[in-house]
Amino acid sequence: MKKIDYNKYISYILRIGVGLSFILAIIGIFLSLNSNKTGKIYKYTSIYNFIYINYMKHLSLTSFVFIPIIVLILTPLLRVIFSIFMFKQEKNIQFVFITSFVLIILLISIFII
């Protein structure tokens, strides 16, 4: 039976995330240069409150500029989630628990801190 190379899929996830973020950043810069709108930046303690609640619900120009940041935050998160499934399929329970713990820490740091 042929062994699946999971590292190849992980590298695809990371490349797609960074590439998509780069393309969205270029589009956001282009839109902001062609617009007279200025967005106010508020200071919040959480990335979740700052980006999602205050900008994404309005879908304004300022929110579009922050979409690449969200994609970059989600890229390693998706990599960790994929790694959990990869270790589970390989029946490596120790690394499933370790990676799940890393996922919990990432989620706490994104949504609470």
68 or 49, which is more confident:
68
**Entry pTM:** 0.68
Segments forming the whole domain that contains residue 10: 6-111
Residue 20, domain member (yes or no): yes
pLDDT band at 62 (very low <50, low <70, confident <90, very high): low
Residue 63, domain member (yes or no): yes
Residue 106, domain member (yes or no): yes
Backbone angles phi, psi at 36, to 5 degrees: -95, 0
Residue 64, domain member (yes or no): yes
Residue 88, domain member (yes or no): yes
Residue 47, domain member (yes or no): yes
What is the Cα–Cα distance from 61 to 50, expressed in whole angstroms? 15
Residue 1, domain member (yes or no): no
The fraction of the chain above a pLDDT of 90, given in percent, is 27
pLDDT band at 42 (very low <50, low <70, confident <90, very high): very low
The pLDDT of residue 16 is 93
pLDDT averaged over every residue in the chain: 78
10 or 2, which is more confident:
10
Least Cα distance to 28 among 59, 73, 5, 54 occurs for 59
What is the Cα–Cα distance from 36 to 22, expressed in whole angstroms? 23
Number of domains comprising the chain = 1
Provide mean pLDDT across the span 85-111. Answer: 91
The pLDDT of residue 41 is 43
